[in-house]
Chains A and B, each alone.
Chain A
Amino acid sequence: MSKRFPTGAGIVIIVAILSVASFINLGLLDVSRWGLAFRNLAIFSRELSPPRWDILPVLLPAIWETIQISFAGTILGFLLSLPLAFLGTHTLFNQLITTVARGLVGAIRTVPSILFGIIFVIAVGLGPKAGVLGVALYTVGYLAKIYYEAFEAVDGEVIEAVRSTGCNRLQLFRFAILPETFNTLISQLLFMFEYNIRASTIMGFVGAGGIGYYLVGYVQMLQYQHLMMAIILIFVVIMAIDLVSFRIRARISAPRY
């Protein structure tokens, strides 16, 4: 065998070639356009200020609806993802069942959240109901995967010890897997809720309730000062929820021996 080309250098060169090629193809290296872009951005940001504080009474109920969509959707998705993760765990079920469960979860995960929004707006009509269902399915795609991976990471000795008592797999799940992964489950659930605030905002774009509806409306009607107000509000809410959630998660996942 001849001398091998260093793998690391090879990967760097390939990534560099691909990057430059895609930059050229996508017009990113077209300098004449950049001047235009900066000029437009400057105009846009001038029009964003000052934010219109007087529309807060309209936006507050809307963002409250978004928070509720995120909350309800996360809880619903959590309830759906538990059984799917249970069925997807190799320590509990055979290859056939886990493959089907994991395939379903994978299929759900490939659909972007906004597409779920559209699907449910068609199914149940405009409004937050569609948003909740969309967020719920989106949640299943992620939580179920994180959960079955957590279930499988449970210490093999604990599984063996509990299984050797002659219990069935529901009992094994209830007494070994669930308590051993409980902190992970809750901490990931909080993270998902945090993340779903953003997903719920997007839901409004397609008329599935919440503040996203206003966001899109302001863009289309060129009301950039209204838009600025909505963005500030979303920013504050997301920061607040992130902070609270982070605090709780840090407490839950503190190691204990």
Chain B
Amino acid sequence: MKRVFASLDRHTVHECDYDEPDRYRELLSMKPGKPLIGRGAGVSYVAASFGEGVTSIGMGRFNRILALNAAERWIEVEAGITLGRIFEFLTGRGLCLPVQPGHPHITIGGCIAGNVHGKNQFREGLFGEHVRSLRLFHPLHGMLDLSPEQNTGLFDLTIGGFGLTGLIVSARIALAPLPSAAMQVSHVPVGDLTEAFAKLAELKASHDMVYAWLDLADRSHPGRGYIVAATADPASEPALGTITARDLLTASRIPRLFNDLTLPIINRIYRTMGTRQTGPRRVPLDAILYPAVGKERYFDAFGKPGFIEMQILVPENAVAAFIPRVLALVRKHGCAVALTTLKAFRGKPHLLHYTGAGFSFTIDIGNDPAALRMLAELDEINCELGAATAIMKDSRLSPAVARRQYSGYDAFKQQLLTFDPGHLFTSDLSRRLELHAS
């Protein structure tokens, strides 16, 4: 059947073929032919789960829990299961997934394909670091078991492989003890970007999760905002119910709410509300894990043209040079930045993984020509400073820039070509970034 799919940033829209198998034999009978790509919740910022002329394979029916070993702390699940469903299941058993991105509708398959991160990246790293094994289906190669001991190269390529090695069917994932049912959360005000970077680096030593919400739409004090710092609250009750969240992507059409005039006002109100109560207060764990819940319509507020989310991994040693240059750029172009966030990161670059020792700096900006010009200039600054742009976030990232920013770009392409020379698994993302070219 035909379906119209849009990326979360509304930048890319295509009418595509869609299939949603609900039996293993339907998966296993797939033949190599037309290009395919797996699709979980379909909430990636970029068009990773669809493409023109590509059949998206919805994995939502493969959402079962296959095994749980509480003593050894691992769970085996099918790839279409959502984070929310796992959260509901595990919390009562005193366990949790160590890494979780910000919305409960995201699937495990998506987490693996995107090798995503949470608000504790500086401690727990990327999602893929906790995947012990997985099953992958490719019509040419059949059902394959992958792990650090079996089909090692393909395991490595599939984690953070954007679904281009085949359909992720199931995975065994290491679990962590549930720290507590609620967190003690503080909002620490910061006056500018320099203070935000410094404060974040300081707070990460004493907190389980930290991230900053900053206001770059404020012309007089760009970078004002606050740091959200959370620690476990062992005294909290473990009663956790069902998580309810609205869909991130709907067919709703609202006029563009965010523009140069409204954003400074909206952000000021949001910042004022966020800093009204700074001291520690008890917040349910799911509210801190999934901050996008309840804010789903935020993504509609950029109107039909959508927005661009640019997420940049700024190496620690480049922060001092990065701050004045990004501020000068925003001033020069006069673009109102809707959202600016900052997270602390650890890790080493590998293939196309978004990781490294430093800070993850994110901006959301309305998709218009002025913004695109500004982001193109920011690309150059990033390349100069050794910063990398998150591939799963930025719909306008070019292959040339990705190649300059990721030392593993050519290796990824080469390994993918070896495994899938016919490029059976293809998406709008893989085409844009020329990940298939020989």
Q: Do A and B come from one complex?
A: no
Residues of B participating in the A interface, judged by any CB pair closer than 8 Å: none
